[in-house]
């Protein structure tokens, strides 16, 4: 068959093929293994361009490479197998159709030719793998494979992906939450079973209307924790086209976290932390939302629990414009984001989902999820996906592997309540040591530059007695009445201050830095304290005015100190 005839045949294919019509399965839908040849990732992707439709054939010149086609037989019967090829030298070839092995010799030909390989009896319905290989001792080969032709009774209603996009369908779990719930925190856990973590997979734990948070396999050598937030507006590709009024703003990031822009799937702010996460280990994720209806912004912060340290780590905190709402649209997913190895099954377990209601601060467990998939599944290109509930009470998502589907679009699943409410201790910061060192360097730099003046340091708090008081020293157990002004050390911006009237509160209810520093002052006096982030608000998101990991400066006039009642 001539090449132009093959191209026409490829263009008129449909997903399902009926009756006795021969099915042309182009090599652009096949998978080449072994994928990893010691090349860099970008080189492997360039190598894979041979099977992405330009040209419409695979240049098969390495004996160690195998070509794999996958079809689903819906009617048992005879299957005739033919091969479309051209090659420079005669080439012995092996074709496995399921468990049956066919052998042939491809004659040398300069034009695309079709050769009959043989007939196979398909005794049962289901997915069938057809693999082309050559003997290991093949000395020379330079073949071009255009596709396979399948005929016989087994092709009736046969299914196969006829598009060059060979990613497995992405699969999702949506968690229904009543509109009346003002969700300010979303907690989820992921466990990836051993053997279900191929390269180019993103397991997303905490998805919401403006972003997503999960773990990714980038290459054989690198894995990441990824947290991203979308811009406002409708630009889908180029963030340079997004106006400043629609751009999310990075407020803070954790130590060693890389931040930049992203595009091509909407645009926004991206952050990732290179971390060697492992299979069969449960990882915890938390996203918080701090909404400001007045400015129509919401600050989204992503926190990842590092089990080796038993501490939470801030990944990043972004302010999203044109929002001002609590978290909504909660979901999880598993994605195969590069179509080189979409034939490999991916699987993840999502367990112990909780949300926190901002109206009362109470945590609520989520035990229901609804299954869905992306356009690759909706168009029927890929039909190997599924979901369920494990014996341990986790939602399971899987896709790829050319297995029969185990869930329908829109199907709901309910897991048993685990009653294992998350305990979030923001004072246990995985970056506390490195951040403390940065804070000290920042404070010392300000002292050297004479931006601030200090009398001394106590318990990590730098202080300056601005005015000596005439009363007794304040005790940490006192209830104090004070005038104060709070600013950020980095830029001097005011984030809070009293006006005409002083404020009154028990000192022990305030941040640690106040409890340490204010007792250095007498009643009637004024003190200035510089508080490192670790004993201020740490990695917590308080407001847009106080980003996580901020060094705070307070000037405090102590008007009154009332001893605790015995």
Q: How would you class 454 by CB atoms within 10 Å of its CB: exposed for 0-12, middle for 13-18, buried for 19 or more?
A: middle
Q: What are phi and psi of 39, to 5 degrees?
A: -85, 165
Encoding tokens for residue 299? 């600050």
Encoding tokens for residue 77? 């019967």
Residue 288 to residues 342, 356, 494, 537: CA-CA distances in angstroms? 33, 9, 24, 15
Structural domains in the chain? 3-159 (2.60.120.260), 171-414 (2.60.120), 432-562 (3.10.50.40)
Residue 305 to residue 424: CA distance in whole angstroms: 10
**Nearest CA-CA partner of 9 in 21, 18, 473:** 21
Q: Helices (H) and strands (E) in the chain — how many of each?
A: 5, 37
Q: What are phi and psi of 440, to 5 degrees?
A: -60, -40
Per-residue pLDDT of the chain (566 residues; tens, 9 = 90+): 333 433 333 333 333 333 346 889 999 999 999 876 444 444 445 455 555 555 688 989 888 899 999 999 999 999 999 999 999 999 999 999 999 999 999 999 999 999 999 999 999 999 999 999 998 877 788 899 999 999 999 999 999 998 888 999 999 999 999 999 999 999 999 999 999 999 999 999 999 999 999 999 999 999 999 999 999 999 999 999 999 999 999 999 999 999 999 999 899 999 999 999 999 999 999 999 999 999 999 999 999 999 999 999 999 999 999 999 999 999 999 999 998 899 999 999 999 999 999 999 999 999 999 999 999 999 999 999 999 999 999 999 999 999 999 999 999 999 999 999 999 999 999 999 999 999 999 999 999 999 898 989 999 999 999 999 999 999 999 999 999 999 999 999 999 999 999 999 999 999 999 999 999 999 999 999 999 999 999 999 888 889 999 999 999 999 999 998 86
Encoding tokens for residue 158? 């046969």
Residue 441 to residue 408: CA distance in whole angstroms: 57
**Tokens 């080796």 sit on residue:** 308
**Nearest CA-CA partner of 439 in 353, 513, 348, 372:** 513
Encoding tokens for residue 430? 């995985």
Residue 527 and residue 432 in contact, taking contact as beta carbons nearer than 8 Å: no
**Nearest CA-CA partner of 175 in 365, 303, 385:** 365
Largest Cα–Cα distance in the chain? Answer: 105
Residue 190 to residue 352: CA distance in whole angstroms: 9
Count of Cβ atoms closer than 10 Å to residue 92 Cβ: 13
**Nearest CA-CA partner of 540 in 254, 133, 215, 167:** 254
- Entry pTM: 0.90
**Tokens 């195969």 sit on residue:** 336
Q: How many CA atoms lie within 13 A of 198 on its CB side?
A: 23
């Amino acid at each position: 068959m001539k090449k132009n005839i093959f191209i026409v045949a490829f263009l008129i294919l449909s997903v399902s093929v009926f009756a006795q019509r021969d099915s042309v399965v182009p090599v652009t839908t096949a998978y080449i293994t072994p994928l990893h040849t010691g090349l860099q990732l970008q080189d492997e992707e360039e190598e894979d361009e041979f099977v992405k439709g330009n040209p419409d054939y695979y240049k098969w010149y390495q004996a160690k490479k195998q070509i794999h086609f996958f079809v689903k037989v819906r009617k048992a019967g005879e299957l005739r197998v033919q091969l479309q090829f051209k090659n420079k030298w005669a080439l012995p070839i092996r074709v496995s159709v399921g468990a049956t092995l066919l052998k042939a010799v491809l004659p040398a030909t300069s034009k695309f030719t079709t050769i009959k390989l043989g007939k196979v009896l398909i005794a049962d319905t289901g997915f069938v793998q057809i693999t082309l290989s050559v003997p290991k001792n093949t000395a020379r080969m330079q073949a071009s494979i255009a596709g396979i032709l399948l005929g016989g009774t087994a092709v009736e209603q046969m299914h196969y992906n006829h598009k060059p996009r060979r990613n497995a369908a992405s699969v999702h779990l949506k968690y229904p939450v009543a509109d009346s719930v003002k969700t300010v925190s979303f907690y989820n856990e992921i466990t990836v079973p051993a053997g279900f973590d191929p390269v180019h997979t993103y397991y997303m734990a905490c998805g919401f209307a403006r972003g997503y948070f999960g773990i990714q396999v980038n290459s054989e050598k690198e894995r990441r924790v990824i947290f991203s937030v979308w811009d406002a507006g409708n630009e889908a590709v180029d963030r340079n086209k997004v106006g400043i009024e629609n751009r999310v703003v990075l407020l803070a990031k954790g130590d060693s976290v890389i931040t930049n822009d992203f595009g091509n799937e909407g645009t926004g702010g991206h952050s990732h932390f290179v971390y060697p996460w492992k299979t069969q280990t449960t990882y915890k994720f938390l996203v918080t939302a701090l909404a400001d209806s007045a400015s129509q912004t919401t600050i989204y912060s992503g926190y990842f629990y590092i089990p080796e340290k038993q501490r939470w780590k801030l990944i990043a905190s972004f302010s999203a414009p044109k929002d001002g709402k609590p978290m909504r649209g909660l979901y999880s997913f598993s994605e195969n984001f590069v179509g080189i190895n979409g034939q490999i099954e991916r699987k993840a377990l999502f367990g112990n989902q909780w949300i926190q209601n901002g109206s009362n601060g109470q945590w609520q467990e989520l035990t229901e999820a609804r299954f869905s998939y992306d356009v690759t599944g909706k168009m029927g290109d890929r039909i190997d996906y599924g979901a369920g509930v494990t014996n341990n009470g986790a939602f399971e998502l899987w896709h790829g592997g050319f297995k029969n589907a185990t869930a329908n679009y829109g199907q709901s699943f309910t897991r048993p309540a685990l009653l294992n409410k998350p305990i979030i201790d923001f004072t246990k910061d995985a970056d506390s040591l490195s951040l403390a060192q940065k804070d000290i360097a920042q404070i010392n730099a300000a002292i050297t530059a004479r931006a601030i003046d200090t009398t001394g340091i106590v318990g990590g708090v730098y202080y300056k007695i601005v005015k000596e008081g005439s009363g007794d020293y304040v005790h940490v157990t006192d209830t104090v009445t004070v005038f104060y002004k709070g600013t950020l050390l980095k830029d001097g911006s005011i984030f809070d201050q009293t006006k005409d009237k002083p404020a009154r509160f028990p000192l022990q209810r305030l941040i640690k830095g106040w409890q340490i520093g204010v007792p250095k002052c007498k009643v009637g006096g004024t003190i200035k304290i510089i508080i490192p982030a670790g004993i201020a608000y740490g990695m917590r998101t308080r407001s847009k005015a106080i980003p996580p990991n901020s060094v705070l400066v307070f000037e405090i006039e102590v008007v009154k100190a009332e001893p605790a009642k015995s």
